[in-house]
Amino acid sequence: MTEPARPKARSRAVKTLLAGSRVFALAPFALALGLATSACGNYDAIASTVAHGQVGAADVVRRDGAMAAALCRETATYTYWQTRLILERMGGALPLSTFPAWYDTEKAGDGADGKPISWNRYCRELDATGAVYHGAVLVLRAYALAVASLADAKDFDGSGLDNLGGGISSAARSLSAPTSVVSAAKGVGSAASQIAGYLVKIVRTEALKDVVKHSRTDVHDVVAGLGAYLDALEEERAKRLANAENELSKSLSVPRDASTPLVPAFDGAIAYDLALGGDEHLARYGRQLAADRKLVAAVGRASEALAEAAASRAREHEAKDAATALTRALEDLKNARPEEP
């Protein structure tokens, strides 16, 4: 099954002026000035490393925005073929509609209002959670670029952030399916829209450390929300994997009616496709989620350490270690064997 293409970030080329000036002291204060400049330069270098690592991590984990919909559609496909296998083994007494018609009408579960929802509607809602997740990743990436711009003394292009934040907030509020994936998406969407609302303003008016301290809580909430979303996806994947073998075994235990038009070879082909295709996809999703959950955790540790260092110079060594760990996590992922398509 082909995964949906990830939505692309859109922005207009607008530059933000960075306010700042250097204050020079007279000779009696030269030593103190030198120490302060050195300390500031050290923090700037650490912040730059962390920020560029966060950008790299965001570029990796944005791929997970397509997984909820992919898992849902594969589960729907599996359920359809399982149902067809059972009915065919029973002699085809109960005709089954084509997959598109079944997908549009068959009940996948109940909505928040208690009314049944079709597989089509259910999967579209899970697809919407992926869009919220993807938007939150873009906001985190924009925040990292803002920090990098201050640390590296470069311009920051924050165009489109207001629209992105509003879109995330609106999409998150529209979600209603009673699943852990939806709950996680609503949480991360709320946190991301907060940052999008003020990021450009504080980058224009505040110094690097103040920006990091100002946004610390919201950045923490976004990173935690991304982790919670990936955890929820892993729960869905694990649940799907646990049920797969039992469902297939149950289907094949149905006695074959002698009059069934389904020949044993076709019977076995369906079973083989259900078992093999499902296992391969779920295993690949599991490896991807494991790697990305680890990366998001490294981003969170680096963000927290950078905020601690902004409040206390004595914590800079911890921030440097966290920055190194984030860089190493990205390198490990880069050097890992690529997944087979």
* pLDDT tens-digit series, residues 41-61: 699 999 999 999 999 999 999
Q: Is residue 42 part of a domain?
A: no
Q: Is residue 294 part of a domain?
A: yes
How is residue 124 written in tokens? 């579209």
Which candidate, 200, 198, 159, places its Cα nearest to that of 11?
A: 159
Residue 302 near residue 322 (C-beta atoms within 8 A) = yes
| Lowest-pLDDT choice from 176-180, 204-208, 316-320 | 176-180
The pLDDT, as a whole number, for residue 130 is: 93
Which candidate, 231, 206, 221, places its Cα nearest to that of 289?
A: 231
Q: Is residue 127 part of a domain?
A: yes
Q: Is residue 265 part of a domain?
A: yes
Which candidate, 199, 138, 189, places its Cα nearest to that of 168?
A: 189
User: What is d(CA 304, CA 196) in angstroms, rounded to the nearest whole number?
Assistant: 19
Band (pLDDT 50/70/90 cuts) for residue 243 is low
The pLDDT, as a whole number, for residue 282 is: 78
Name the strand (E) or helix (H) holding 164.
helix 161-174
User: For residue 272, is pLDDT > 90?
Assistant: no
User: For residue 158, is pLDDT > 70?
Assistant: yes
The residue segments making up the domain with residue 219 are: 52-334
Q: Is residue 12 part of a domain?
A: no
Q: Is residue 43 part of a domain?
A: no
The pLDDT, as a whole number, for residue 88 is: 66
Reported as a single tens digit per residue, the pLDDT across 276-292 is 555 677 788 889 999 99
Q: Is residue 31 part of a domain?
A: no
pTM for this model (two decimals): 0.77
Q: Per the structure, how many domains does the chain have?
A: 1
Q: Is residue 15 part of a domain?
A: no
User: For residue 192, is pLDDT > 70?
Assistant: yes
The pLDDT, as a whole number, for residue 321 is: 96
Which positions ≥6 away from 210 have C-beta within 8 Å?
Answer: 202, 310
The pLDDT, as a whole number, for residue 169 is: 87
* pLDDT, greater one: 277 or 66: 66
